[in-house]
Each structure stands twice: as C-alpha cells, then as structure tokens.
Amino acid sequence: MNHDTPLSPLTPRPLAQLSAERHRVLTAAQLRAHGVGPAEANEQCRPGGPWQQILPGVFLLHPGPPTSEERLHAVLMYATREPAPGVPVQPATGPGGGGRRPVPAYPEAMVTGLAALNLHGFTSAPPLLSLDHVDVLVPRLRRLRTTGCARIVRTAELPTPVQRTGLPVAPVPRALADAVAQLTDAVAVRRLLTEAVRGGHCEPGAVVRELNRAKLLGRPHVVDAVDSLLAEGRAIAEDRLYRMVREHGLPEPLWNVDLRLPGGPHLGGLDAYWPEQAVAVELDTRAPRQGDPQDEDALWEEYALKREHLERLGISVVHITPRKLRDAMEQQAAVVRTALMASGDREPAAYVVVLPR
C-alpha cells in the first residue's frame, strides 16, 4: 500500500505507517478506527513524543510545527462533523487539489476571513503561517468554542463554499466581511476591499451587502474604505462600458450626461445617451449604505422610478450591472445594439435638454 492510498475507517493501519503518511492530521475518531485508542494517542503525544494534539480531538502525527496545509485541515476537522463510516478522509494533494486522493467532505464548516482570502489569491492577505488564528465558519447552533489556532465564526445561514486547494472556502464577499470584522487597521481594510474589486474577485455591491449584514458599516474606518471601494468599482465599470462601445462597434454616445425637460425638472443622470435613437445606458452600481437594510430597496425604487419616467417620455433605458459587463460584455453590447435598431419602430421621444454631468 503506497502513500496515495486513502485512509478510511475500514482500513486499519499500524502506527508506524500512520506516522509515515504524507498528510498526518487525524481526528481521535479516525485514530480509533485504526485501532489507536485514547490512552495510546495520549502516550504518543507525551513531551518529546512523536505526535502532538494540535486541537481538541485532532492530532498531528509528527513532532514539528504544522504546515499551513496541515493547520487548515486541522481547523476544519475540529469544526466539522465526523464523516460517515467508509468515507475517505485524506485531503487531495497538489496546488489545485487535483491529486489522486479524494477531496474530504467537511460538512457545515469552511475557511473564512484572512485565511480564506489568502486561498482566493489575495496578495494583500497575510501568509497563512503568519496568522495567529484560522477563521472557520460554522452554523450558529454548533457547540464549538474558539481554541488554539481555530477561531469559530458563527452564521445563521452558511453560504455555498468555493473549493480552493481541495478545501471548502467562504466566497470572497463573506470572507472579506469576516476578515474586516477582526481588523482595526484602516489601511489594511482599504487594501483588501480595493484588491477585491481591482482583482476582479467580486463586485462592490456584493461586498457592501455582506458588510451591511455583518453590521460593519457603522465603523468609521470601514465607511471610509467603502467609499473608496465604490469609487473604484464605479471607475472600473465605466471603463468597461467605454470598451464595450468601442470593441463591439456601437455608435459613439454622449457620455455622462444629465437630462432635463425644457424649462422643467431634472430627469436624472445617465452614463451613455444616443440622442438620435433616444436610447440610454445606466450602470446599476447601487449598494446599501449606513447599515440600513431598507437602503437597497430604496435605491432600487429610485432607479425604477427614473426609468419609468424616461420611458414614458419615449426614451429606452438599458440597465447594465458591472458584473454583466465583466462576465458577458458581448451579450450586453447586443442588448444595446437591439435597442438602437428598434428605435425606428417607436414613436418619437419627447424633446429633452442634454447637459454634461
């Protein structure tokens, strides 16, 4: 039997072979399945012994410091429910988790916070081994406590994890919120939020929603970072909109304009406007602010009212989200092109005054 054979509760192994495994992190239950009882495990963990107990019920089968991978698996083993008998528990190998060993199932637990951001590839997140704690997200009712290198983060509803190096990891917006909750350094918070947007990891609105849910938008250093985040996200979205028009052969619009009725009220600002066709594009960059759960609904109502008003005047409004611009630019260009081509079939629009914004 070689080192690529998965460990299973159904395949007992001698102690010497267990200690020779490449990934040497096992729970007390897994050790019992291999015939190693509590007394024998404690004897192996005596001072100067070959093993150590890294977390309650989790053993490291060598005496040296754990690797970052071993520490991550140990934290997840501590936080997760025991796998069913016969389910392989050895982690996948290789940088992408694509080795021959099966990826372990860690039900109801996932890495979050700074460790998760590191696994997502954030350069502004600290190295894994420099972290005093690895944050692990679990359901609110789980009976677990923060101990050793495992810091328990509770949630009423677990998000769907993302696989990174064979491990369940919280999605970027949730991991950011959990990281920011532990940080008081305004510079560090701003760097993380800025990299989330510049690096294309997620859209600003998703981050702000998670910060809102975590009740973090009342912290001054977080508010300042969010202002920068939204400005950054807006600039990136506008740049993508310029690229969409030019790379997909759309006619050049008037950029960043305000519309008014002659001698009448302000109708609102638009990111792009084709006056001959009476077609407008508006980037949907709304995000809830100030921790008010009703903010997002109010923002959506504002968008909807403006759109209804413009369309009653015969102006066709195309709303585009930054995410759609990023992930489906060609499709969004087709939507705008269709609106421009359909303008000849509509009644002429009301006369409006176009002003630079």
Pick from 220, 287, 279, 284: nearest CA to 251:
279
Interstrand relation of 279-283 and 316-320 (parallel, antiparallel or unpaired)? parallel
Cα 138 to the center of its chain, rounded Å: 16
Q: Using one digit for the tens of pLDDT, what is the confidence trace for 179-233?
A: 999 999 999 999 999 999 888 898 888 899 899 999 999 899 998 888 888 888 8
Percent helix, strand and coil across the chain, each to the nearest 5: 40, 15, 45
Question: Which residue type is seen at 7?
Answer: L
Burial of 95 (0-12, 13-18, 19+ CB in 10 A): exposed
- pLDDT, position 287: 60
Question: Does residue 46 sit in helix, strand or coil?
Answer: coil
Q: How far apart are CA 263 and CA 222, in angstroms?
A: 42
pTM equals: 0.75
Pick from 323, 283, 288, 330: nearest CA to 307:
283
Question: Does residue 353 sit in helix, strand or coil?
Answer: strand
- pLDDT, position 95: 36
The sign of the dihedral angle between the CA atoms of 179, 180, 183, 185 is positive
Q: Using one digit for the tens of pLDDT, what is the confidence trace for 112-159?
A: 999 999 999 999 999 999 999 999 999 998 889 999 999 999 999 999
DSSP tag of 308: H
Which domains does the chain carry?
15-182 (no CATH), 236-356 (3.40.960.10)
| Residue 293 predicted with pLDDT over 70 | no
Q: Which of 74-78, 221-225, 301-305 has the lowest mean pLDDT?
A: 301-305
Interstrand relation of 266-274 and 254-260 (parallel, antiparallel or unpaired)? antiparallel
The sign of the dihedral angle between the CA atoms of 228, 231, 235, 240 is positive
